[in-house]
Structure 1
Amino acid sequence: MTHLTRRHLLASAAGAGLVAPLAAPAIAQTFPARPIQMVVPWGAGGGTDATARIIATLMEKEFGQPVNVVNRTGGSGVVGHSAIATGAPDGYTIGMITVEISMMHWQGLTQLNPESYTPIALMNEDPPGVQVAANSRYADLKALADAIKASPGRLKASGTGQGGIWHLALVGWLGAMGLPASAVPWVPSNGAAPAMQDLAAGGVDIVTCSVPEAKAMLDAGRAKSLAIMAAERNPQFANVPTLKEAIGVDYTVGAWRGIAAPKGLPAPIAERYTAVCKKINESSEFRSFMSARGFGVRWADATGFAQFMAAGNTSMGVAMKAAGLARGS
């Protein structure tokens, strides 16, 4: 091999090395070139669907391409979450993942977990409140907590199905107080609305569900919220204290929604998505939409979202094991 040929090969290799870094940003500049599919693991008309559709609408304005929401339901969330995880990592399939991704694998329903995705952004979180009937003898959370400690097993709670997010919120709160899950037996329901009806009728003593879900009964004067399991008060329910304020227990949990893509999404596209989601999260259109429905707005970028999910995944595992509901790992 001549010196000249060798020099040409080295120059070509160097040039090739320069091409890759320059090409990556170009991907983001030309993206998207066609419509995007946003997969939603839950049914049309629900809170997750509504949140996804406002994000998709605002995303279309930013990208100049259609963002089509596709509801892939079934398997307690497994079907839709799987459709997001197994999509092509090219940016044209994204989805709205929810708190259930931190729960389903513990239940043995799937091997999917928060690390099965490219995280893009956390957009929403709704922490549960601790609701009692309007005529309940418990005027504040301390009185309720003292009653639970004094007579474990006497008071009953509801809010969702067995092993659902609001059941685990109760179990986590009890655990933070040093109590077993059996200290407040769970009565499964088909959701927060029927549970709140049961609360008002005297069928159960406590309902753990998001305060927005309880709002109708609160506004009707048939229930009262004693605390929320959040780090800060909800501005829309500013008179409801946090657990820490009420009884000194520093425990937080919530139902959340975020945008994610299949694992392996090129970094330039992922970063573009995160920037667009941040703009949407801060927009008056998004905030007005969420506020009108009582949904909480929360922001975390890709790194923060990954850390948020990892912490939630651990706490869900603890709660499920405490409740005897863990079937997987």
Structure 2
Amino acid sequence: MKSGTSFIQNVLGNNREELAQHAISFAGEKWRDQVAAVQDLIAHGGPQQPPLDPDGAWRTLVAGINSTPGTVVVSMEFLAPRATCKIEIIRDSLEGQLEVVLTGRDLARNIAAMWLESVQNGSAVTWDDYLGAVRSEDPTSPVARNFWNHQGLAAIARRWSDAVGPDHFTLMTVPPKGAPSNLLWERFAQVLQLDPAAFELNVRANRSIGLATALTLRHLNEILGRDGTPAAEHRFYDLLVKHLLTKRGLVSRQGEPTLGVDQRWVIKRGAAEVDQLRKQGHRVIGDLDELLPQPVRGVHPDQVSVHQQLDAAMEGLARMTQIGMEREDKHRQRLRRRKKQRNA
């Protein structure tokens, strides 16, 4: 998660015809098929879980993969933190040669990215509390457990490599900030033995929100949770807040301050993770040194003014008002059409 996956997925999804010329397919009719399949796998088939449905999303995706000639690519970041029993289900479900590629990015950038993502997913945890939980690595803390499940690269790499064999596992590092924008795709194309220049890379970016927007969303999540129900569990939160308000609205705001990360413990902990990866000796595309954390330029949330947060809140209010107006207009148009049909 937060290691260039959306970019790779968008390139694969937007270049299906070009991939087909090389006998390569991107699994499913649309990427959401992969999401549904992995969610099905997460919820079924493990210890004390109901069995996988033969007609469920996972088995359906697998059947399509196994019946497709050539190479089939699955890219879904929720696969990374799976336990060994689930990795074995994946391994044993798929026919032919299985190759696993794990993408990873340095700890400093990912701590910031994961907090910003958590806020978009309904969290009301403050930045300082989030940092403290990540630093503690306390498995009883939901924040710490979720973070390290998704970002403990050495543990994830070891689990997958052990299950599929070191000859079938590759760790691909995300280039540092300032590297050419096409370098990540060039690395993945190397895995597929493709000419990277033959593919269209002008795809939708998965942009991050600014810090003023993040603080506004966190406050919104806090308010929504006052009834005792976490914000993310409210009906339509994902649609209305994460997608319509944030990803299709506030993410486009310009000139916001960015979240900074320069804590010494982050640098030290990231270096320890890289040391462990070196000892494990995985095949690497890129350079493990790119996983050594560097300070992320930006500010602390306390340095974001109330005025900056108010601007973000008002833009959010305007965004949702516009959506409401558009939906009301469409609703009234439907009513008028029905009335005309009844009177005809």
- Name the TM-score, length of structure 2 as normaliser: 0.28
Higher helix share: 2
Considering only CA atoms, is the larger Rg found in Structure 1 or Structure 2? 1
Higher strand share: 1
Higher relative CO (Cα under 8 Å, sequence separation at least 6) belongs to 1
- Name the TM-score, length of structure 1 as normaliser: 0.29
